[in-house]
Amino acid sequence: MDMSIALILSQDGITNGAIYALLALALVLVFAVTRVIFIQQGEFVAYGALTLAMMQSGVLPATVWMLVAMGALVTVLDGGLALKAGQGRRAASVAGWNLGYPLALAAVVGGLAVNELPLAVQVLLTLAIVVPMGPMMYRLMYQPIASAPVLVLLIVSVALHIAMVGLGLLFFGAEGQRTPAFSEFSLELGPLMVSAQTLWVVVVSVLLIVALYQFFERTLYGKALRATAINRVGAQLMGISPTLAGKLTFFLAAFIGALSGVLIAPITTIYYDTGFLIGLKGFVAAIIGGLASYPLAAVGALAVGLLEAFASFWASAYKEVIVFTLIIPVLLWRSLRSHHVEEEE
Amino acid sequence: MSGENAMNKQTQGSAASSNADAKNPVLEVKDLCVSYGKVEALTDASLTVGEGQIVTVIGPNGAGKTTMLSAIMGVLGSRGQVAFDGSVEGVPEVERMVARGMTLVPEKRELFGEMSVEDNLVLGAFQRYRMGKRDHAQTLEEVYALFPRLKERRSQAAGTMSGGERQMLAVGRALMAKPKLLMLDEPSLGLAPLIVREIFRIISELRRRGVSILLVEQNARAALQVADYAYVLETGQIAMQGPAHELADDPRVIEAYLGLGGKHQAMLST
């Protein structure tokens, strides 16, 4: 291996690592606020990438119908509850957001020649379709069992993951898809050719991480999510409902997932089930951060990305094995150095 | 009301609405019951808090005081009727109660330990902020005026403060919601005498500002001194009630709650 190969591998590693970092942050956030292990994070990646790919090939993405179906269920549940309580205006707003919005979106995406729209609009439409599935999923699957043990929530996540992979096969077919790059240029840095898409991935990831940091540090809603993660009872007494926190968290996680998918679609061929492996690598990174520390998770994500890149050069057949084996020493190290922290009072 | 028949349920029933000073009741609780599985922790508890009143509930450990506050707040499920600020809640629900102006300072404070004092306080105004009342910067100054110590420590992590400061923070955070009714669960628990005195000074100061207060305390003497009206809760039932100064002179209350520790508690509370 010479210097230029090492540089190319590092570039790959950092690009993937940036995506894993985003996914790891979302996993840590979802777990901290709702105690849900968000296994289906990877499916949001695949749904994002493949929805965009379908739009570009001029087909109405079936995910839009999934959104309509989920929205209809939410409308029945929440709208019904609101009507029962005699809150007609609330029922109307529930129906508007959960039924009106998906139908309007379906009409827009179905009515326009989406494959001729500029890429930015396609990306926005993709996010508009995939992201609302996050909070709807929380409402339908997790909210009724919000206080269940972590293990039960995990089982629900596994079930949702399997269901989403199956639906993905139905929606997108077994063929892999790759979308064209966002822009066609490359940067020459000494011996290294940096492709535009690599820059897109790294820059967007860094911007998103900074934006998330600002959200959690500066805005009251961000602080409310942190507060829920720190002390659920205390947060509830402030009127921060676990439901609101859960939906907001799932919104952010779905946004991060779908955006990651859109970002990597030009780099990697995405199949209906590719998301799982990507999500799992984010999960390894999150575990390095103990499912609690954001900076450690981000560092872990970079490590996972670099390890994967170099492993694929030396022993490409074993690259997944090598990456996932990393979790064993990490767990060992964590369990040896972790000490029991007394809860406040 | 004498000691023996105060335990009698009939006496209690006829006296249920006898908090006569409560002309505009902020809170009216009727026949509230809470059970943990088959064990009934609270049985037919009724109480009234009038506007601007301090009402205290005293009683021994395990009598159901915390359970009662949790049920009124909606943290625990209950049966019975809770009327707050003129409208009846079937089963109270926490976010709704907060939105309608009720706050609870729980016994365990439940602060956000890793966040700064100021963030803790600002989060107290979350529900108001969500409803579009974005005046928390001004409320924050008012709370800082009441608790200058919190202003000094505004950027310190809440978890690193002393017990008294944390209690002040818990009360301050509750005040950020501009509550109509403030419920305090054992605010003096585990605090040094000087701090206890400070906490009770603040409680009377709050009343002067028109906040109605429901105070649950084991420090009976201090509670009876500051309160207008008092209830005694024993084994999940309201055993006695009356104007605080009358209860403070009641032989049974003196024996059970003020007795031996009385002098000591008096020192703490004056």
Residue A35 to residue A255: CA distance in whole angstroms: 19
* A18 CB-side CA count, 13 A: 24
Q: Kindly determine whether residue A224 and residue B126, on different chains, have CB atoms separated by under 8 Å.
A: yes
Q: What is the mean pLDDT of residues B237-249?
A: 92
Tokens describing residue B203: 């409680």
Nearest beta carbon to residue A344 from set B75, B94, B113 = B113
Neighbours of A66 (CB within 10 A): 22
- Position B60 scores a pLDDT of 87
Question: Per-residue confidence at B15, pLDDT binned at 50, 70, 90?
Answer: very low
- A15 assigned to some structural domain: yes
Q: Kindly determine whether residue B95 and residue A224, on different chains, have CB atoms separated by under 8 Å.
A: no
A344 chain-B contacts, CB cut-off 8 A = 109, 111, 113, 159
- A66 assigned to some structural domain: no
- Position B268 scores a pLDDT of 58
- Note whether B215 and B70 are within 8 A (CB): no
Residue B263 to residue B270: CA distance in whole angstroms: 11
Q: Which chain A residue is nearest to residue B107, measuring alpha carbons?
A: A345
Nearest Cα residue to B166 out of B101, B107, B208, B104: B107
- A295 assigned to some structural domain: yes
Q: What is the mean pLDDT of residues B59-87?
A: 91
Q: Which amino acid is at A38?
A: F
- Note whether A108 and A68 are within 8 A (CB): no
Residue B75 to residue A235: CA distance in whole angstroms: 12
- Position B264 scores a pLDDT of 54
Helices (H), chain A: 3-34, 41-56, 63-74, 80-84, 88-95, 101-111, 119-130, 133-137, 150-172, 196-218, 220-230, 232-237, 242-264, 274-288, 294-314, 319-325, 327-337
Let me know if A193 is exposed, middle or buried by CB neighbors in 10 A (0-12, 13-18, 19+).
Answer: middle
Let me know if B19 is exposed, middle or buried by CB neighbors in 10 A (0-12, 13-18, 19+).
Answer: buried
- Position B88 scores a pLDDT of 87
For B2-63, the DSSP string reads -HHHHSSHHHHHHTTT--TT-SSEEEEEEEEEEEETTEEEEEEEEEEEETT-EEEEE--TTS
Q: Which chain B residue is nearest to residue A241, measuring alpha carbons?
A: B95
- Position B5 scores a pLDDT of 41
- A320 assigned to some structural domain: yes
- A105 assigned to some structural domain: no
Nearest beta carbon to residue B124 from set A231, A236, A238 = A238
- Note whether B104 and A237 are within 8 A (CB): yes
Q: Tally the domains of chain A.
A: 1
- A173 assigned to some structural domain: yes
- Position B62 scores a pLDDT of 86
Q: Which chain A residue is nearest to residue B189, measuring alpha carbons?
A: A345
- A333 assigned to some structural domain: yes
3-state SS class at A1: coil
- Note whether B177 and A239 are within 8 A (CB): yes
Task: Return the CA Rg of chain B.
Answer: 18
Nearest beta carbon to residue A237 from set B94, B122, B129 = B94
- Position B38 scores a pLDDT of 87
CA distance to A37, B27, B30, B180, per residue, from B49 (Å): 45, 5, 12, 11
Identify the residue with better confidence: A187 or B57: B57
- Note whether A50 and A270 are within 8 A (CB): yes
Percent over 90 (pLDDT), chain B: 62
Chain A residues within 8 Å of chain B (Cβ atoms): 220, 223-224, 226-227, 230-231, 233-241, 344-345
B140 chain-A contacts, CB cut-off 8 A = none
- Note whether B117 and B76 are within 8 A (CB): no
Max CA distance (Å), chain B: 54
pTM of the model: 0.88
CA distance to A33, A65, A212, B96, per residue, from B76 (Å): 21, 40, 34, 14
For residue A223, the distance in angstroms to the closest alpha carbon of chain B comes to 7
Mean pLDDT of chain A: 91
ipTM confidence score: 0.85
Structural domain range at position A189 = 3-55+136-337
- A318 assigned to some structural domain: yes
Provide the β-strand partners of residue B241: B231
Show Cβ contacts of residue B137 under 8 Å, excluding neighbours closer than 6 positions: none
Which portions of chain A are predicted below pLDDT 70?
A: 1, 338-345
Q: Kindly determine whether residue A230 and residue B115, on different chains, have CB atoms separated by under 8 Å.
A: yes
Question: Per-residue confidence at B92, pLDDT binned at 50, 70, 90?
Answer: confident
- Position A192 scores a pLDDT of 79
Residue B82 to residue B48: CA distance in whole angstroms: 10
Q: What are phi and psi of A20, to 5 degrees?
A: -60, -35
Structural domains of chain B sorted by starting position, each given as residue range(s) with its CATH number in brackets = 3-101+183-269 (3.40.50.300), 111-178 (no CATH)
Mean pLDDT of chain B: 86
A238 chain-B contacts, CB cut-off 8 A = 98, 123-124, 126-127, 173, 177
For residue A235, the distance in angstroms to the closest alpha carbon of chain B comes to 8
Q: Which chain A residue is nearest to residue B134, measuring alpha carbons?
A: A220
> What would the 3-class secondary structure string for A184-233 be?
CCEEEECCEEEEHHHHHHHHHHHHHHHHHHHHHHHCHHHHHHHHHHHCHH
Q: Quote the strand ranges of chain B, DSSP E.
A: 25-36, 39-50, 54-58, 79-84, 87-89, 102-105, 181-185, 212-217, 229-234, 237-243
Tokens describing residue A333: 């190290």
A230 chain-B contacts, CB cut-off 8 A = 112-115
Tokens describing residue B66: 């915390």
Q: Kindly determine whether residue A231 and residue B119, on different chains, have CB atoms separated by under 8 Å.
A: no
Strands B229-234, B237-243: pairing is: antiparallel
| pLDDT tens digits along A210-226 | 999 999 999 999 999 99
B115 chain-A contacts, CB cut-off 8 A = 223, 226-227, 230
